[in-house]
Amino acid sequence: MNMREMCRVLRRRWYVMASLTLLGLLAGFHLHRSVPVEYESQSSIALLDSTAVAQLAPTFGNPLSNAGGSLVVTADVLIRTLSGADAARALQGLGVTDPYTVGFAANASGPMLTLSVTGTDRARVLEETNTLTAFAGEQLTALQAAAGVQPRYFVQTAPVVLPQTPVPLLKSRYQQVLAVVIAGTAAGFTLSFATESALTARRRRRAAAAPAAGAPAAPGLAGPAGRTAVRAGRDHPPRRRRGSRPDATALLSGYLALAFFIPSNLTLPGLGGVGTPANAYALLCLFWYLASWLTGRIRPPAATRLPRTAMLVLALAVLGSYLANATRGSSQKEILGADRGLIGLLVWVSLVVLATAAIHDRSRLDVLMRRMVVMGAAVAAIGFYDFFTATNIADSITLPGLQSSVPQIATLDRGSFTRPRSTTAQPLEFGGMLALLLPFAVQQALDPARRTLARWRRWAPVALMGGALPLTVSRTSIIGVLLVVLVMVPRWRPERRWAAIGLLCGAVAAFKVVIPGLIGTITALFASFLSNGDSSTQARTVKYGAIVPYLEERPLFGRGFGTFTPDLYFFTDNQYMLTLAETGLAGLAALLLLFLTGIHQGGAIRRLARTENDRELGQAFFASALVALVISATFDSLSFPMFAGMFFLTLAAGGSHLGFLRRAAPQHPTVESPCPHTAPCPPTAPCPHRAPDRVPVP
């Protein structure tokens, strides 16, 4: 369905669209007038070492000079204490009845806490913030006294930012109003096409029943062909040429261009990390699919249901966590985070539905996969520029109407090397995304149908992606490369296998010569990891135990998808731990189902393949899904929009490829159908596809 046809449907069903849009506007206006303005006040405190252990500055004797990072664990204990139910009851007795939050101060390297209170009475909010600030120091003293700590060793609290004058939270209010208006408009759009589909179906039933009732045919047209032409002309407007009609491949290609070439840290204001232009475009594509599906222009092909079923399970887990977040009295930031989580879920659903249900031509799916690899190679080339120039080209890109969702992004270094991130938000996302796409680059380079192309055109994406992965100087990238090699190379013929092993050894030697110290730095990373001497690994494993209390509190559906943000809690650097905290055991099971679905699809494609290229393609899907499964334990992968988009798109492409192979595979003989559809029935075998023999009448 093209834009002209969509506009025609909306014009015919204007009463549905106008009424629901007006209803949304009225509801938004009522919300703006009836909901009172909320105010927020904040204060910050720092934890100081006791005078018995701190070495005071010799000149000034300033205790703030000893507010180092060694008290981070103490600060975490204090945060958990203040966030508990006992502390909430004690604060209610002191007059703090409005919602409050306690967490680590943003972008702080030491034990600094931010305390905030939100309410509708400005004077009361300021008074409650003062009470909460004093109560934090009292609770810290009480905790140490209960643990038997001597008073001279007590850790103290010192105010860094005094309780601030409450400011109105107009942004969150406008977001709520805008959400109501958008919901009304979206409902009007969807119901307009649903109404068009229902009325068209009713007209068809009436037209089909008219000849049986003896109704006269349309003038100038006679017979069934004439009646069919009349109904077709009335129900469907004249269609344009097929080449000018947008299809799912064209729409998804637009998504890839926006996702790869607009830095993923640039987002629409107020939407956070999920507000990238690519995600907004994917939501519009979802409306296109709904309009086409409701009017009967698109029907999901057979044997493509598995990825959509896995997404349904994930959606149910996310909705369960959303309800769990709504029932636990969460803060305003957590509510907005849960809303953004639902937006991200709709983006993923859009990618899966478009790739599995709207692509009916395998050649168009191959075009989409090729475009994905080529664009990924271009992003890898930008990573080379960042590495050798020690800069980041994405920092100089600014677009009107977009703002950075990650403040103060700086170029990261490890050892003496700059870690590139290209157009992604972080080097880990850059490496993870390339590791997902590398198997498809290898498969397309080995495709016999592409042998007519120049060799450099076939192998340039492989060289760019494979070469950019070590430049990130991260274990995640190296693990991804090793998984791709271990999955794909053993399946090759011996001559190709030994050639690949020799090429890999030569590439390692070339890196050692061209970039001295890079291989040694990467080797040292794994050596420190195996000896448990790496500080980043220790910081991550310490946080794993910190997830347990949140999981024990809400084990089934968690605290709410998208609510466990670093500014309120802490970084997890592990997608499985983050999923447990946000969506509980149900979300973890759904996430594992997604990864296992991708692995199963790759294996099924390889088993059903009739050509060597299809077998290589199945192995590529298998390797890509396995990479996503493993490296998600090394960083919170689905929190990064580019990695998440490529994962769900490759998952859906695997389901679509599997559907093409299953529909083309011959049917196995059964009792009801003893001969396959693709083979002629033997004369002596009963077959429902052959007309029964005439029986002579005596």
Reading the block at residue 209, the tokens are: 């029943």
Mean pLDDT (whole number) for 563-585: 85
Backbone CA torsion sign across 534, 537, 539, 544: negative
Task: Say if residues 445 and 458 touch (Cβ distance below 8 Å).
Answer: yes
Which of 347-356, 532-541, 597-606 has the weakest average pLDDT? 532-541
Better-scored residue on pLDDT, 189 or 589: 589
Query: Which neighbouring-strand residues pair with 167?
Result: 40
Cα 567 to Cα 577: distance, rounded to the nearest angstrom = 17
Q: Is 104 helix (H, G, I), strand (E, B) or coil?
A: strand
Among 317-321, 532-536, 557-561, the range of highest mean pLDDT: 317-321
Mean pLDDT, the chain, whole residue set: 81
Percentage with pLDDT > 90 across the chain = 29
Residue 311's pLDDT is what?
Answer: 95
Task: Say if residues 45 and 158 touch (Cβ distance below 8 Å).
Answer: yes
- Which phi and psi angles does 4 have, rounded to 5°? -65, -40
Residue 543's pLDDT is what?
Answer: 67
- Which phi and psi angles does 45 have, rounded to 5°? -130, 155
Task: Say if residues 98 and 118 touch (Cβ distance below 8 Å).
Answer: yes
Better-scored residue on pLDDT, 482 or 80: 482
Q: Is the pLDDT of residue 242 over 50?
A: no
Q: What is the largest CA-CA distance in the chain?
A: 124
Q: Is 377 helix (H, G, I), strand (E, B) or coil?
A: helix
pLDDT in tens, 439-470: 999 999 998 888 888 888 899 999 999 999 99
Q: Cα-atom radius of gyration of the chain, to the nearest Å?
A: 30
Cα 281 to Cα 275: distance, rounded to the nearest angstrom = 10
Reading the block at residue 246, the tokens are: 């947008």
Q: What is the dihedral of CA 19, 20, 26, 29, to 10 degrees?
A: -140
Mean pLDDT (whole number) for 350-374: 94
Q: Is 266 helix (H, G, I), strand (E, B) or coil?
A: strand
Q: Is 101 helix (H, G, I), strand (E, B) or coil?
A: strand
Residue 534's pLDDT is what?
Answer: 59
Residues 6+ apart with CB under 8 A from 674: 681, 685, 686, 687
Burial level of 114, CB count in 10 A (0-12/13-18/19+)? buried
Q: Are strands 112-119 and 156-161 parallel, antiparallel or unpaired?
A: unpaired
Reading the block at residue 350, the tokens are: 């859009």
Mean pLDDT (whole number) for 80-95: 86
For the chain, give the number of residues.
698
Instruction: Give the up-direction half-sphere exposure of residue 327: CA atoms within 13 A in the CB hemisphere.
Output: 9
Which of 427, 417, 16 shows the shortest CA–CA distance to 193?
A: 16
Q: Looking at beta carbons, which pairs linking 405-409 to residues 24 or more positions away fall under 8 Å?
A: 405/265, 405/266, 405/267, 405/272, 405/273, 405/275, 406/265, 406/273, 407/107, 408/107, 409/265
Better-scored residue on pLDDT, 597 or 521: 597
Reading the block at residue 322, the tokens are: 């959303």
Residue 403's pLDDT is what?
Answer: 80
Query: Which neighbouring-strand residues pair with 42?
Result: 116
Q: Is the pLDDT of residue 576 over 80?
A: yes
Q: How far apart are the first and last CA of the chain?
A: 58
pLDDT in tens, 307-316: 999 999 999 9
Residues 6+ apart with CB under 8 A from 620: 439, 440, 442, 443, 488, 602
Q: How far is CA 636 from the centre of its chain?
A: 10
Better-scored residue on pLDDT, 395 or 267: 267
Residue 220's pLDDT is what?
Answer: 44
Cα 49 to Cα 195: distance, rounded to the nearest angstrom = 69
Q: Is the pLDDT of residue 227 over 80?
A: no
Cα 617 to Cα 615: distance, rounded to the nearest angstrom = 5
Instruction: Give the up-direction half-sphere exposure of residue 681: CA atoms within 13 A in the CB hemisphere.
Output: 17
Better-scored residue on pLDDT, 353 or 676: 353
Q: Is 589 helix (H, G, I), strand (E, B) or coil?
A: helix
Query: Which neighbouring-strand residues pair with 102?
Result: 115
The amino acid present at 370, given as its one-letter code, is R
HEC string for 580-643: HHHHHHHHHHHHHHHHHHHHHHHHHHHHHCCCHHHHHHHHHHHHHHHHHHHHCCCCCHHHCHHH
Beta-carbon neighbour count of residue 59 at 10 Å? 6
CA angle 551, 555, 561 (to 5 degrees): 80
Mean pLDDT (whole number) for 668-673: 50
Q: How many helices (H) and strands (E) does the chain have?
A: 21, 9
Residues 6+ apart with CB under 8 A from 59: none
Residues 6+ apart with CB under 8 A from 659: 301, 302, 303, 304, 356
Beta-carbon neighbour count of residue 173 at 10 Å? 16
Q: Is the pLDDT of residue 612 over 80?
A: yes
Residues 6+ apart with CB under 8 A from 666: 676, 677, 678, 679
Cα 188 to Cα 8: distance, rounded to the nearest angstrom = 15
Q: Are strands 417-419 and 39-48 parallel, antiparallel or unpaired?
A: unpaired
Better-scored residue on pLDDT, 696 or 148: 148
DSSP state at residue 393: G
DSSP H helical segments within 390-474, as ranges? 427-445, 455-471
pTM, whole model, 2 decimals?
A: 0.75
